[in-house]
Amino acid sequence: MSTSTGTSKRNGVANAEYRGSKACASLDLDGSGKADVCSGSGFLDHMLIALARTSQMDLTVRTETGFCRTEAVGKAIGLAMDNILADRSGIRRYGSFSVPMDEALAEVALDFSGRPYLVMNGELLGERIGDFEVQLLQPFLEALCVGARLTLNVRFSGENDHHKVEGVFKALGFAIRQAATKEGNGVPSTKGVI
């Protein structure tokens, strides 16, 4: 369930459940990059803080214990975004950004298209980064795409898994900031609807 507060403010709250795991996300797209997150993973918290900072959205995340809480967090953030952006009126819609982190490079391109789709190209070499299983990056991004009704293309390369994943989250934040920028008045679609 999602709720929005006010018509001129771009903030909202969403609760999500994924295979029995529950999460709640609250965000303000016109914030200052503040984050208050508790995902159950110190590394994922670090990534969500980077996402909030680079997107300049204020983000609060809470989750209950559960096997699929990473996916529940992604879905809750996505649902909150979708709730705020609704029919996509008055936004740029598209965003892309590249972030280098030492030897690693992450590139993200996105479209608030109304069609959830993820393309991810890159290889993570290890099994874990701290307390985070690297195989959960893709399910997190998929859940975000489904919740936000977002098309997302992600590419990354490098040697250090931490740098690659952090680059992805930072590039995602910058791309979200671009795509959610207020621009125009109508729905940014040649069809007039998203």
Q: Residue 5's closest CA among 73, 61, 84?
A: 84
Quickly name the fold that domain 2-179 has. Answer: Ribosomal Protein S5; domain 2 (3.30.230)
Cα–Cα nearest to 158, from 119, 105, 87, 100: 105
| Contact yes or no for 194/163 (Cβ under 8 A) | no
Integer Cα distance of 108 and 113 in angstroms: 15
Phi then psi dihedrals of residue 45, to 5 deg: -55, -45
What pTM value is reported for the model?
0.93
Structural domain boundaries in the chain: 2-179
Single out the residue of 6, 176, 4, 5 nearest to residue 91, CA to CA. 176
What single-letter amino acid sits at 132? Answer: F
Interatomic CA distance for residues 11 and 29, integer angstroms? 6
* C-alpha span between 165 and 120 (Å, rounded): 12
Confidence of residue 3 (pLDDT cuts 50, 70, 90): very low
**What digits encode the pLDDT tens for the residues 91-139?**
999 999 999 999 999 999 999 999 999 999 999 999 999 999 999 999 9
